[in-house]
Structure 1
Amino acid sequence: MIQLSVLDQSAISKGSEAREALSQTVRLAQEVEELGYHRFWMSEHHLESLAHSSPEIMIPHVAAHTKKIRVGSGGVMLPHYSAYKVAENFRLLEALYPNRIDLGVGRAPGGIPIATAALQEYKQTNGDIFPQQVEDLMYYLTGSQQPNHRFPGLKAMPEITTHPQIWVLGSSGGSAGLASSHGLSYAFAQFISGQDGSGVVQHYQNSFQASALQTRPKSLVAFFFVCADTDEEAEWLAKSYDIQFLKVAKGEKIEGVISPEEAAQYRLSGFDQQLIEENRAKVLVGAPSTIKEQILAWKQRYGTSEFMLASMVYDFDVKRKGYRLLAEEFGLK
């Protein structure tokens, strides 16, 4: 059985504004819940073209406007923060919305260098602290039973009988190894790397070690997608995606998601065409039956049954329709 989930970045379409994008995020969560999608995650990206960088604030807002869909972070960029504070935030969210909260954590900066510098101002760190932070999260969320920990007996409050699901996010073997050795769920971000991570995910599954939080491996794979009634229409809509990420790769200013009509006017060099072709490894494009065929093929390669889909379609109504068409194709309800 295939499970479909949603990653929403609250992207601002050119000519719109942040408040509208935030409102659309809530509306999308409500609609995909009705359609039968499994999770709704929100990202942390410190970029002007996206309406927010605080999934921990958006999560309770979206959870309050939905009923049962799992809501989470995709993800919290943990090196910017105190693991203890993150654990407290998500323990409180789990208390408010039991068995609905996912805590996805990553080590990427999630933004431009100047934003990273501001987030980590006055923090003294040596080397990669992400693995230790993941261990600390588990410690604070499972009852603080390690007598030799730096902060013995310190718990994330409030004390409750359930805990958020912890997901390690990544696009490399290092993050997969961290998830498997600590007994945590793993989300592979093909929509970021464009690399076939099937070997990484299968290694995670085969080397998984049970933990106090989780006894079996759980994985998902994330793609961008563009779905429409026909392959031809989907290809037209995908022009927005192609030019958006071409500009990112070339370091050009992004003023929001552009329309396919504007994207079609962008003059492309041979190098540009090559970059667009490479970026297409991150996105599923086509009619519902075409994308279903692609997902089923990736299911066999990855050995996983959950796929998380993010959309950068310019028009919100067209974006909603894409999620609806795919849900109907898979018979999610």
Structure 2
Amino acid sequence: MTIPLSILDLSPISAGSTARDALRNTVDLAQQAERWGYRRYWLAEHHFVRVASSAPTTLLGLLAAATESIRLGTAAVQLGHHTSASVVEAFGTIDALYPGRLDLGLGRSGHRGDQFRTAGVPPVPPAPDRGTEVRDGVVIPPVFTPGRLLDTSRLAAGLATLTLPGAQSLPYGEQVREIQALLDGTYTAGDGVELHAVPGEGADVQLWLFGSSGGESAQLAGELGLPFAANYHVSPGTILETVEAYKAAFRPSQRLPRPYLVVSADVVVAEDDARAQHLASSYGHWVYSIRSGAGAAEYLDPDTAPPLTDQQRRLVDDRVTTQFVGSPGSVAERLAALQQLTGADELVITSVTHDHRDRLDSHRLLAREWGLTHVRAA
């Protein structure tokens, strides 16, 4: 049986276009994804860069109004920038009007802000000393560590701006449990006073955790019996450790009797391999803008983008070599290998191209090849 496919969207802004264009494209893609049989449509959260998904919960409400049945969610709310109550009340508001369709995805981003502000990049464990491997047809590159980022000053400034002066984030695990309690109606403040989120308490939302390593997010998702999304497209070098940590830590819960794993992949599909390779040729430039410290730039037109230098290529090689690029058949074959290797119950696809029509075609062609539904041209 073919596993479900879902979509992760960053609302990318292409060179020569605007945030308004990107948001309209997101609404259009969500509507088409529903027609084509994708299970979920998730929105990322990014700030002070050239993507338009800085307010995913607001956008989520707009997508709920523009669609009918596809599940919608965040991938993920950066908890370090939000209080538990604001998250629960926002999702509760949308669920009150469009019940039973929301995935509340939570991530750790923002919880290390003080370390970035005061000491640059936080210490990270040394990466395993290994070269690129191919496991059952899946590329597993060397682990990329934050210490290789060229400049963290912009990241530090952004984190500082997103935090009120003097405010401190709760520990990640504590905040996840606080959100659970607010949704369940069991929350008690520090002074013993019961508080009830209205709307929010009792909302029919599914809680998810997201992670790119075998660390706290994967282990916490397992311990709490929550579904988990492992980010192969962000950190392909750690995917096996991430999956193993989640499954090893999993304890059945009232919500979930067995692990439920989603694995992400970055994809560009076209009618043939050559066309797909051309459309994806400016992807490395986009990743380089992120890893250089400048933040995600406008997505360049492959017809005019200059070649990457050797130094630029080295910084992004793990992401470029693990992007799934090609004809529908070749990409579907590689995705099937990723699913088999990780044991994923579902794959979530992110696709960025300069032209919105090419992005639509990428998702449409893959949906048809994967057998989601009878898919017509947009």
TM-score by length of 1: 0.92
CA distance in 1, matches of 2:309, 2:49: 27
Pair 1:304 & 2:344 matched: yes
Q: What is the root-mean-square deviation in Å for CA atoms of aligned residues?
A: 2.2
Matching of residues 41-190 of structure 1 within 5 Å: 41-109=42-110, 112-125=155-168, 129-144=171-186, 152-158=193-199, 162-174=203-215, 175-190=217-232
Q: 1:200 to 1:25 in 2, by over 3 A?
A: same
Read off the aligned partner of 2:5 and give its amino acid letter: L
Q: Is the 8 A contact 2:260 2:345 kept in 1?
A: no
Q: Is the 8 A contact 2:224 2:251 kept in 1?
A: yes
Q: Tell me the residue number matched to 2:268.
A: 226
Q: Is the 8 A contact 2:183 2:200 kept in 1?
A: no
Residue 35 of structure 1: CA displacement?
0.2
CA distance in 1, matches of 2:295, 2:289: 7
Residue 38 of structure 1: CA displacement?
0.5
Read off the aligned partner of 2:365 and give its amino acid letter: L
Q: Map Cα deviations across residues 182-230 of structure 1 (whole Å, 9 max, x no partner).
A: 1211111122123241332133134311334433322201121111111
Q: Is the 8 A contact 2:183 2:203 kept in 1?
A: no
Q: Tell me the residue number matched to 1:35.
A: 36
Residue 171 of structure 1: CA displacement?
0.4
Q: Tell me the residue number matched to 2:320.
A: 280
Q: Map Cα deviations across residues 47-104 of structure 1 (whole Å, 9 max, x no partner).
A: 3311230111000100110010001111110111111221121122222211100111
- When structure 1 is superposed on structure 2, of 68-77 and 251-260 the one drifting more is 251-260
Q: 1:107 to 1:14 in 2, by over 3 A?
A: same
Question: Of residues 295, 302, 309 in structure 2, which corresponds to 1:260?
Answer: 302
CA distance in 2, matches of 1:312, 1:259: 11
TM-score by length of 2: 0.81
CA distance in 2, matches of 1:97, 1:230: 39
SS in 1 for 2:75: strand
- When structure 1 is superposed on structure 2, of 165-174 and 20-29 the one drifting more is 165-174
Q: Map Cα deviations across residues 115-167 of structure 1 (whole Å, 9 max, x no partner).
A: 211111224337x611110010111111207x796655322223665521111
Q: 1:189 to 1:248 in 2, by over 3 A?
A: same
Question: Of residues 360, 368, 378 in structure 2, which corresponds to 1:320?
Answer: 360
Q: Is the 8 A contact 1:186 1:220 kept in 2?
A: yes
Question: Unpaired runs of 5+ in structure 1?
Answer: none
Residue 320 of structure 1: CA displacement?
0.2
CA distance in 2, matches of 1:197, 1:33: 28
CA distance in 1, matches of 2:57, 2:211: 19
Read off the aligned partner of 1:115 and give its amino acid letter: G
- When structure 1 is superposed on structure 2, of 296-305 and 187-196 the one drifting more is 187-196
CA distance in 1, matches of 2:270, 2:245: 34
Q: Is the 8 A contact 1:195 1:281 kept in 2?
A: no
CA distance in 2, matches of 1:155, 1:213: 21
SS in 2 for 1:137: helix
CA distance in 2, matches of 1:172, 1:65: 35
Between the aligned residues of both structures, percent identity stands at 34
Read off the aligned partner of 1:167 and give its amino acid letter: W
